[in-house]
Amino acid sequence: MVDWEMKLPLPVDNLIPHQKPMCLVNRLLEFKDQGGTVEARVLPRQILVDDDGCLETLAVAEMIAQAYAAVKGYGDRLAGRPVRQGFWVGIRKIQFHQAVFAGDNLRIHVNTVGNIAGFAVVEGVVTRKSDIIAEGQIKLWVKENE
């Protein structure tokens, strides 16, 4: 039976510990066991957007981390557990291919490629329609529930 409160798409507000203005993603669109897809809408007045409407390039790296947090948070909530804090431990490599502007609607696709003792290696790809904006691998640690 479908829990309608958990029906996707779902705003990330109750899935990640981040809050505005440091919350850079908006909705969880897809969830699968080891990954998912998150939407981010870039708005003109965000703290990482210049006067000329250009988003700070590095912001998309944080979007990958927050997308993974949303996926984990959704998994936790499905399992009846509270949402946990996660921390960046490292970046293997992230490449940035295109600039992002206010008004853009981005999709962040994340997939867990390794998971040991709370440490996860996550592949992330950020797209705008069919264009790849950024891609890379990051390493995160998610706090265990107490």
Partner 1 sequence: MNKLKQEIVSSVIGKKTQGETNIVTRRYCFKPNFIGFHGHFPGYPILPAFVQILTAITIIEEHNKCRLELTSVEKAKFHLPLHPDSEIEVTCTQLQVQDKSIYEARLTVTEGLASSFRFTFAEVRNTPC
Interacting span for partner 1 (CB under 8 A) from 2-10, 29-37, 41-49, 71-79? 41-49
- Residue ranges of alpha helices (H) inside the chain are 59-78
Question: How far is CA 58 from each of CA 27, 37, 76, rounded to the nearest angstrom?
Answer: 20, 19, 28
Binding of partner 1 at residue 43 (CB under 8 A)?
no
Residues 54-93 that bind partner 1 (CB under 8 A): 56-59, 61-62, 65, 85, 87-93
Token representation of residue 130: 């069919």
Nearer to partner 1, 32 or 92 (CB): 92
Reduced to 3 states (helix: H, G, I; strand: E, B; else coil), residue 27 is: strand
Which residue, 70, 63, 62, 7, is CA-closest to 35?
A: 70
Nearer to partner 1, 22 or 132 (CB): 22
- Shortest reach from residue 48's CB to partner 1, in Å: 5
Give CA–CA dist 28/73, Å, rounded. Answer: 10
Interface residues toward partner 1, by CB under 8 A: 17-23, 47-50, 56-59, 61-62, 65, 85, 87-96, 99, 136
